[in-house]
Structure 1
Amino acid sequence: MNSDRTPRRRVGIIGGGQLAWMMAREAPSLGLEVVVQTPKLDDPAVELAAETVLAEVADARATFQLAERCDVITFENEFVELEELAKLAEKGVCFRPRLEALEPLLDKYHQRCCLREWGLPVPRFVNLAPQETIPIDLGFPLVMKARRHGYDGQGTVIVETGDALNAVWQRWGYPSVLLEEFVRFDRELAVIAARSATGDIAIYPVVETQQENQVCRRVLAPAMVSPAVVFQCEAIARRILEKLDVVGLFGIELFLTPDEKVLVNEIAPRTHNSGHFSLDACDTSQFAQLLRAVCDLPLGSTVMKSPAAVMVNLLGYETARRDYRDKREAIAALPNAFVYWYGKTESRPGRKLGHATALVSDPSQGRAIARDIEAIWYGR
């Protein structure tokens, strides 16, 4: 366990999915090794990790084993128990981002409260607790979110009526939930930002994200928005990272309203789907940037190497055991296209199996290229 400011060469990652896999791919070029804590030997990152601690990501005893093999520990996901990890931090285990910064973010209601307290623009929201009456001042439709552990559309539902809200709430078992006004946005945006131990901040180009069923389908980089909108997004990112006093990399999801106001949707304290384009389109990928930040290496350039890029998630559309090699090869044959296959052996509707990136000469071409990729992948 490394406690000084000398460069850290072994990184522990809690989680072994595709985000950890892409970090592990970038580590050798930085002279680093990664060790993952993950429950399955066939998880994507295992094949590239120097070592694997085979355990659930919430198993703090296993995380101590991870710490004994590493200089610093970072996160692929938020499915952790901070109280147990805090006991390890007291023993000198180095977590980045620090646990105190994660605490207000892992619960979506607490995250909303923090953002509002910091003066950042957010949708109107309330907490709905068991036995409480459904508030009527937000109006319908409403966005209903599980306070913990929601991802890729799971734990987020748009409800049109009080009866629909009650039905979903009953199905979830009447937990405390976050209710938000439905923002009639013009577009959804996102920005990736990293912060080093010295307080340096590096921000990637603002992107447009396009969702279907609350799951990201495609990302257009850079977003075709005004300089004023870019300024708002970057100012929000800087304020979040500075208020949290973090070392690491965050994905920040945003709404853009028709009158060009930017609202914060959610914060992910890790690498993020909206930053996958950086693997091929930027001087430094988001995965290399996270490793640089947590290992006390200088932050890299976030400049794009092409005028524009598009990223398309390759989502499962059937329940099957297939590797879709023919489709992957057809996509990779498109001009300036790159395919990342996560090595998952089972497809099911909505599951992220991989993604494709294409570099383009003009941002206006992104949608057409995305359609070409999706026509090959979905067969239409």
Structure 2
Amino acid sequence: MSMKLGIIGGGQLAWMMKDAADKLGVELIVQTPSPNDPAVSIAQHSIFAAVDDAAATEILATKCDIVTFENEFVNLAALSLLEKQGVCFHPQLAALAPLLDKYEQRCYLRDLGLPVPQFLALSGEKKLESQIENLGFPVVLKARRHGYDGQGTFIIPDFATLSKIVNQTHSQFLVEEFVPFTKELAIIAARSVNGEIVIYPAVETLQKEQVCRWVIAPAQITQEQSLQIEAIAHKLLTSLQYIGVCGIELFLTAQGKILINEIAPRTHNSGHFSLDACETSQFEQHLRAVCGLPLGNTRLYCASAVMVNLLGYENSHCDYQKQRQQLANIPQATVHWYGKTEARPGRKLGHITVLLDQDQTNGVEDIIHKIESIWYPQ
């Protein structure tokens, strides 16, 4: 009898678990708002409800052995009642609790002794000027909950802009120093039920308007920096007693210092390269971890790999078949198309991964330029 895994969320991160689920004999059941969401097409059963609908999750739990998460926009308090009734969540709710609010996440990392930028939570009881005077401008303003792909994150150049945004919204905000980084990095790590930890090679990422455009694996960093990042992942997952895959975004400063940007308690865009470039993809790794199976090898099959997100640039219902075929013709390329029925600017519609031999690694920028010149209108 196969394992039945419930997934809260039915987007592309759940959709990309299909091949691993078939391989491992895992049945996927998703809770997702829309019949048009990508994972509906690969799930054995779907429950159509918002991801923070705990009543729907209670129904989901009756149909599966374990419940996991595709995104973190859940009602933790309501789910804790289900956990007390015996529902098994992986990662556990105790591991998610310090991470879902970005201010609380920052405090948790700081208290663990892990490197983070200077930060504070805005308080309505104090004057705005006095709260941020030690940070200087620019600063980064982040909504404490429900921000992703650039939503809820602002680079603030001056006090007038900060005051306007804070006064026009009702969100709770985290403010932190702007880090003049030389590279943005990320790492995918996984921890099993038994405490085994595996880590993928650190990657370099590029964000535009806070949305990931591309990933290069492995990142060109020193061995010392790589070991430091791995140590961060080990310490974090062990402290949380985390079960599953976790993405960690980082900054590298001009002085060679590593700072943590954000933690994503799930599979992550920066690990998509692993579908084609690694012995065990991050999606198979997550299923292995949460289902109590031995973790897989994280090594790269190739010298390096490039992953480029195919982002929407217009409002349309086009499937972009012509561009997708041109991209698929690039040597050693694989196009992953998420099957979304509607494109809009910045929406992740798919991605392409290109595997590179040792003699091709100097041509990474040319490959990225070629992909983007095919995908985006001139």
TM-score normalized by the length of structure 1: 0.96
Q: In structure 1, what is the equivalent of residue 156 of structure 2? A: 159
Residue 41 (structure 2) pairs with residue 47 (structure 1): yes
Counterpart residue number, 1:305:
301
In 2, Cα distance between equivalents of 1:368 and 1:167 = 41
Does the Cα contact within 8 Å between 1:23 and 1:288 map onto a contact in 2? yes
Shift of 1:130: 2.3
Equivalence for 1:139: 136
Q: CA offsets, 1:248-294, max 9 Å, x none?
A: 11000000011211100000000000000000000000000000000
| Cα deviations by residue, 1:69-107 (Å, 9 ceiling, x for unpaired) | 111010000110011000100111000000011011000
Gaps of 5+ in 2: none
How many Å apart are 1:345 and its aligned residue?
1.1
Q: Which residue in 2 is equivalent to 1:262? A: 258
Q: Pick the aligned partner of 1:16 from 10, 18, 22.
A: 10
Cα distance in 1, alignment partners of residues 311 and 78 from structure 2? 34
Secondary structure of 1:186 counterpart: strand
Aligned to 1:281: 277
Shift of 1:133: 1.8
8 A contact 1:278–1:285 mirrored in 2: yes
Q: Report the TM-score when normalising by structure 2.
A: 0.97
Letter in 2 for 1:157: F
Encode CA deviations 1:89-147: one digit per residue, 9 max, x unaligned: 01110000000110110000000000000000000001102243222110000000000
Distance in structure 2 (CA, Å) of the matches to 1:8 and 1:234: 33
Q: 2:203 maps to what in 1?
A: 207
Taking the aligned partners of 1:349 and 1:23, their CA distance within structure 2 comes to 25
* Cα distance in 1 for residues equivalent to 2:90 and 2:174: 27
Compute the displacement of 1:176 (Å): 2.5
Q: Which amino acid counterpart does residue 297 of structure 1 have in structure 2?
A: L
**Are the aligned partners of 1:9 and 1:31 in contact in 2 as well (CA < 8 Å)?**
yes
Whether the aligned pair in 2 keeps the contact of 1:8 and 1:71 (CA below 8 Å) is: no
Q: Which amino acid aligns with 1:234?
A: E
Alignment check: 8 A CA contact 2:279 2:298 kept: yes
Shift of 1:8: 7.1
* Structure 1 pair 106–8 and aligned structure 2 pair: CA distance change class (3 A): farther
CA RMSD between the two structures: 1.1
How do 1:59-78 residues align onto structure 2 when only pairs under 5 Å count? Answer: 59-78=53-72
Q: Deviations over 1:303-353 (max 9, x none)?
A: 000110000000011111100000001001000001111111111111111
Matches within 5 A, 1:60-139: 60-134=54-128, 135-139=132-136
Aligned amino acid, residue 107 of structure 2? C
Distance 1:361 1:163 in 2: 50
2:365 is matched with 367
Could you tell me how far 1:167 is from its partner in structure 2?
1.3
SS for the counterpart of 2:17 is helix
Q: SS at the partner of 1:219?
A: strand
**What per-residue deviation string (whole Å, max 9, x for no partner) do you get for residues 131-172 of structure 1?**
432221100000000000000000000000000101111232
For 1:340, the equivalent position in structure 2 comes to 336
Q: Distance in 1 between matches of 2:230 and 2:70?
A: 23
Corresponding position of 1:149? 146
Choose 328-337 or 132-141, whichever is displaced more.
132-141
Contact 2:2–2:27, Cα closer than 8 Å, also in 1: no
Aligned residues: 373
- Which region of structure 1 is more displaced relative to structure 2, 149-158 or 63-72? 63-72
Check conservation: 1:34, 1:51, Cα contact below 8 A.
yes
